[in-house]
């Protein structure tokens, strides 16, 4: 049996976490022979609910669950963690403008970035789920001087899975046979679900089997607005599918993604495809044992370029709205970190 890995989850008594922590305990995120220690973090007001979550974890009698600790602060909650899934965030309240929401979350994710930098395992890998996920990831990473920005990611895997699911339904094929979809940009209504490079497992092109107008006018907006459609239908935001996406994201990042396929991750832009450096932008990537690599050399047509730039513009605007709250960044900081070239050591080998 391996040494356990420490996994922090914030917002651990909320809806997404309630669909996720039991699946982490059962091995779906880190594999069937990887024990886990869950370090669950909540707001002080939700600690009682969190105790209930912990009781149910105990009642599941999961063989891979080494132990569970409960925390009302991130300094303790992030101590020694190898993975952190940052789900808890301030939801948009009545009368709150986008700028207010960005600023409220900036304070939360600045504290979390600093705590990860000070207390987590130096090789920690972080997934930001709480919205606005891309800009929250930027804030956390900029407040984590001891960590590389490449250790922070924002979740666009849900959008990726959504477009794959919709294509499968449209073409009457199994979702597992749709490969090489890509989400570019922000986890928001400006994201660009790109099917120009997608193929089915028989090698046929997806875009050739879609009606061009239907793709542009129906499918793209349906993916962009799917989160809102679920809120409208359920009265609550997506939770089961968001949990699935978080599990997919972390599992692929830690263990490697299918080498015949791509996945989408919100990562620090290194300037690939002309996207501004330093924002957290979703790119198609492949993962290999803790490292990710942007798929390079894709042909970008005029329509794609326009949509990729629209979502880049939104991310630049979001950054401008909270720029005054970010610690100053030196030019070297951009050039000195390795984005994805150095595979991380598997976390379980680092424990002594």
Residues of this chain, 96-135, that bind ligand LMR according to CB under 6 A: 131
C-beta closer to ligand NAD: residue 116 or 133: 133
Closest distance of CB 100 from ligand NAD, Å: 14
d(CA 90, CA 105): 6
Residues of this chain, 238-257, that bind ligand NAD according to CB under 6 A: 238-239, 242
Q: What angle do CA 289, 81, 85 make, to 5 degrees?
A: 75
Residues of this chain, 108-127, that bind ligand NAD according to CB under 6 A: 108
Closest distance of CB 241 from ligand NAD, Å: 8
Q: Kindly state whether residue 268 participates in binding ligand LMR, applying the rule CB under 6 A.
A: no
Residues of this chain, 126-145, that bind ligand NAD according to CB under 6 A: 129-131, 133
d(CA 340, CA 162): 26
Closest distance of CB 348 from ligand NAD, Å: 26
Tokens of 284: 């198609």
CA atoms within 13 Å, Cβ hemisphere of 140: 36
Cβ contacts of 288 within 8 Å, gap of 6 or more: 256, 257, 343
- Beta carbons within 10 angstroms of residue 325's beta carbon: 15
182: β partners: 194
In the set 71, 160, 187, 344, the catalytic residue is: 187
C-beta closer to ligand LMR: residue 46 or 230: 230
Question: Is the bond preceding 132 in cis, omega lying within 30 degrees of 0?
Answer: yes
d(CA 100, CA 238): 23
Q: If you count them, how many residues does the chain have?
A: 352
C-beta closer to ligand NAD: residue 82 or 160: 160
Strands 263-268 and 192-194: unpaired
Residues of this chain, 164-223, that bind ligand NAD according to CB under 6 A: 187
Closest distance of CB 32 from ligand LMR, Å: 29
Tokens of 252: 């692929």
On whether the CB atoms of residues 215 and 344 are closer than 8 A, the answer is no
Q: Choose the one of ligand NAD, ligand LMR, none that binds residue 21, judging by a C-beta under 5 to 8 angstroms depending on kind.
A: none
- Beta carbons within 10 angstroms of residue 8's beta carbon: 30
Q: Pick from 43, 189, 295, 298: which binds ligand NAD (CB under 6 A)? A: 43
Q: Pick from 113, 227, 266, 278: which binds ligand LMR (CB under 6 A)? A: 227
Q: Is 71 a catalytic residue?
A: no
Q: Pick from 38, 40, 89, 206: which binds ligand NAD (CB under 6 A)? A: 89
Q: Kindly state whether residue 237 participates in binding ligand LMR, applying the rule CB under 6 A.
A: yes
C-beta closer to ligand NAD: residue 187 or 210: 187
Determine whether 191 is exposed, middle or buried from the number of CB atoms within 10 Å of its CB (0-12, 13-18, 19+). buried
Q: Kindly state whether residue 278 participates in binding ligand NAD, applying the rule CB under 6 A.
A: no
Q: Kindly state whether residue 230 participates in binding ligand LMR, applying the rule CB under 6 A.
A: yes
C-beta closer to ligand NAD: residue 79 or 171: 79
d(CA 278, CA 271): 8
Catalytic residues: 187
Which residues in this chain contact ligand NAD in the complex, by CB under 6 A?
10-11, 13-17, 41-43, 46, 87-91, 108, 129-131, 133, 155, 158, 187, 237-239, 242
């Amino acid at each position: 049996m391996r040494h356990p890995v420490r996994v922090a989850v914030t917002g651990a008594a909320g809806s997404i976490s309630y669909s996720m922590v039991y699946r982490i305990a059962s091995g779906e995120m880190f594999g069937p022979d990887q024990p886990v220690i869950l370090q669950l973090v909540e707001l002080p007001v939700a600690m009682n609910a969190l105790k209930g979550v912990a009781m149910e974890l105990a009642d599941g009698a999961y063989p891979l669950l080494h132990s569970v600790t409960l925390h009302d602060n991130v300094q303790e909650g992030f101590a020694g963690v190898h993975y952190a899934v940052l789900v808890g965030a301030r939801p948009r309240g009545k009368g709150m403008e986008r700028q207010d929401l960005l600023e409220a979350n900036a304070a939360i994710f600045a504290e979390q970035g600093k705590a990860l930098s000070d207390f987590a395992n130096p090789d920690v890998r972080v997934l930001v789920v709480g919205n606005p996920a891309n800009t929250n990831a930027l804030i956390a990473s900029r407040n984590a001087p001891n960590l590389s920005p490449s250790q922070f990611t924002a979740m666009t895997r849900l959008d990726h899975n959504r477009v794959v699911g919709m294509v499968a339904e449209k073409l009457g094929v199994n979702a597992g046979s749709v490969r090489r979809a890509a989400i570019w940009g922000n986890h928001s209504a400006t994201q660009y679900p790109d099917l120009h490079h997608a193929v089915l497992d028989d090698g046929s092109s997806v875009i050739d089997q879609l009606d061009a107008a239907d793709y542009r006018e129906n499918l793209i907006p349906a993916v962009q607005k799917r989160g809102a459609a679920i809120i409208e239908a359920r009265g609550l935001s997506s939770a089961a599918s968001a949990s699935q996406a978080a599990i997919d994201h972390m599992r692929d990042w830690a263990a490697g993604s299918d080498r015949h396929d791509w996945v989408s991750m919100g990562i620090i832009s290194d300037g690939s495809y002309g996207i501004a450096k330093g924002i957290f932008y979703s790119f198609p990537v492949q993962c290999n044992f803790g490292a990710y690599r942007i798929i390079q050399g894709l042909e970008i047509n005029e329509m794609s370029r326009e949509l990729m730039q629209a979502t880049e513009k939104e991310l630049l605007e979001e950054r401008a709205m909270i720029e005054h709250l970010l610690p100053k960044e030196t030019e070297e900081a951009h050039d000195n970190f390795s984005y994805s070239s150095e595979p991380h050591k598997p976390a379980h080998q680092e424990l002594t």
